[in-house]
Amino acid sequence: MYGNAFLSGVNATWYSANSTTCFTNALSLYQYDVELMLIKYMYGDLEDIVLNSTLFLKNVSDVGYVCIDAGENLYAYSLYRFE
């Protein structure tokens, strides 16, 4: 009963709208950027490999920023919700 109440209270539209953005960006990173980077590694020269590696790391850091922010929002929401 308490678990269901917690899950209904932890609705993403209430505590953190960026949690759905985190999920969407992480899924997009996995589906598109990883495969594209591997193809560019196979057929690119050293300059392309370095450029694509830094672009991939930029995308990873952007997704990490949004996901860490969503996690912080969930933590703060749960602290204030249970007080």
The residue count of the chain comes to 83
Structure tokens at 50: 């370095």
Average pLDDT of the chain, as a whole number: 82
**What does the domain layout of the chain look like in residue ranges?**
2-82
How does residue 2 score in pLDDT terms, banded at 50, 70 and 90? low
CA-based R_g, the chain, Å: 18
**Does pLDDT of 40 surpass 80?**
yes
pTM for the whole structure:
0.69
Report whether 41 contacts 49 (CB < 8 A): yes
Residue 44 is predicted with a pLDDT of 85
Q: Is the pLDDT of residue 1 over 80?
A: no
pLDDT tens per residue across span 46-55: 998 899 899 9
